[in-house]
A and B are shown apart, each in its own frame.
Chain A
Amino acid sequence: MSTHDGHDHDHGDGEPHPGMVGDASLGYYGTRYRAIEALLIEKGVCTLAEINATAARQETRTPMDGARMIAHAWVDPEFKQRFISDPLAAMGELGYRLPDNVVDTPKITVLENDEDVHHLVVCTLCSCYPGTLLGAPPDWYKSLAYRSRAVKDPRGVMHEFGLDLADEVEVRVQDSTADLRYIVMPKRPAGTEDMSQEQLAQLITRDSMIGVSEALEPDRSPAA
């Protein structure tokens, strides 16, 4: 235990330290999380150090990591093939440190959008998400509204994100129910031929990698 607030841990008043027991500020899920964490450690399933290391690693991942991978795939057709066939190996190729236990890491699958098919990813049963590439999911992805409507009315959901696709385009919803995690590779927008890989990555939003929108047009890029 480290000391905190600049004082030693002995309060000398016999009271438990504020924050250690029944901390209302944690809320329901925070309290539940602490209870599960304590049980996992007590039963020897894992150590606090392992939990902290995993959390720290997940916090280092952001949607920009997925965007960099896809921008690389847009400009390098051979890398794109490797990215599609083995996304984790392709991450390693770009210098990303892979999870320590790759065997137990859910397999990531790339869903490539084209003129004929547009993919949309949802996990109706919980909130499965390709965290290894994108970090933590947005809150709306975990909401009951998204999880139920994305399968039943995907075009209605996409409309609310500003995307209206022609009826000729097949909307293919991927329900992420089991051992695989899905990331969408959006289409490369027209008029981006002269852009650098770094500029292209700015067009690839988190939402476009979930499939509720497409990649940004070049003049709508935040970097433009």
Chain B
Amino acid sequence: MNGATLPKYGPGDRVRVSSEEPEGHCRTPRYVQGRQGTVRKLHGSFRNPESLAYGGTGLPRQPLYLVEFGQPELWKDYKGAAGDRLWIDLYQHWLEPLNDRRISQ
């Protein structure tokens, strides 16, 4: 088996979403690219949609995370409440570590 990429992040980890736009299809919407969020959950590992979209195998599987963003941080003119959140599923290869909790705490 071609296995899966090992998960690098866990709940509570701060991450930044990559803003390097790949050519072609991806499942990371533009509005979160370059933004900072917090990992809430590891969903498991899934085939990479950027490969599957073009007839590829999608392997190795990529860890998929539930990532939380504060709505007022995503939209500068956000009209809702300060505590509103956006949750979104993002594949690991789109995430960069923002800091290392083991050092900062």
Q: Which residues of A contact B (CB under 8 A)?
A: 107, 124-125, 151-156, 167-180
- Nearest 10 interchain pairs by C-beta: A178-B89, A167-B81, A175-B88, A171-B84, A179-B46, A155-B80, A170-B83, A172-B85, A173-B86, A174-B87
Q: Could you list 13 examples of A-B contacts with CB < 8 Å?
A: A124-B31, A151-B31, A152-B31, A153-B80, A155-B80, A170-B85, A171-B81, A171-B85, A172-B84, A173-B85, A175-B87, A175-B88, A178-B43
Instruction: Report Cα–Cα, A27/B74, bound state, in Å.
Output: 38
For residue B81, which residues in chain A have a CB less than 8 angstroms away from its CB?
155, 167-171
Q: Which B-chain residue is minimally distant from A171 (CB atoms)? A: B84
By a CB distance below 8 angstroms, the chain B residues around A169 are 81
Q: Which of A152, A156, A179 contacts B43 (CB 8 A)?
A: A179
Q: By the criterion CB–CB under 8 Å, are A177 and B80 in contact?
A: no
Given A170-B81, A172-B84, 6 more pairs with CB closer than 8 A: A171-B80, A175-B87, A178-B27, A178-B49, A178-B64, A180-B89
Q: Which of B78, B84, B88 contacts A177 (CB 8 A)?
A: B88
B15 interfacial by beta-carbon distance below 8 Å: no
Spell out B's residues near A (CB within 8 Å).
Answer: 27-29, 31, 43, 46, 49, 64, 71, 74-75, 78-91
Across the interface, which residues of B come within 8 angstroms of A155, CB to CB? 79-81, 84
**How many interface contacts (CB-CB < 8 Å) are there between A and B?**
74
CA gap between A47 and B22 in the complex, in Å: 34
A178 touches B84 (CB 8 A): no
Asked if A177 contacts B28 (CB within 8 A), the reply is yes
- Determine if B46 and A178 form an interchain contact, defined as CB atoms under 8 angstroms apart: yes
Given A151-B86, A154-B80, A167-B81, A125–B43 Cβ distance below 8 Å?
A: no
How distant is B42 from chain A, measured CB to nearest CB, in Å?
A: 12
- A170 contacts B64, CB within 8 Å? no
Partner of A174 from B29, B75, B88 at Cβ < 8 Å = B88
Q: Is the CB of B29 within 8 A of A175?
A: yes
CB distance from A26 to the nearest CB of B (A): 26
Please give me the residue from chain A that is nearest to B82 by CB atom: A167
Q: Give the residues in chain B near A124, CB-CB below 8 Å.
A: 29, 31
| Residue among B31, B46, B87, B90 having the largest count of chain A Cβ atoms under 10 Å | B87
Chain A residues, Cβ within 8 Å of B87? 172-175
A152 touches B75 (CB 8 A): yes
Within 8 Å CB of B27, what residues of A? 125, 177-178
CB atoms of B79 and A125 under 8 A apart: no
Neighbouring A residues of B28 by C-beta, 8 Å: 177
Contact B85 A153 (CB under 8 A): no
Contacts of A152 in B (CB 8 A): 31, 75, 78
Known: A124-B29, A178-B46. A154 touches B84 (CB 8 A): yes
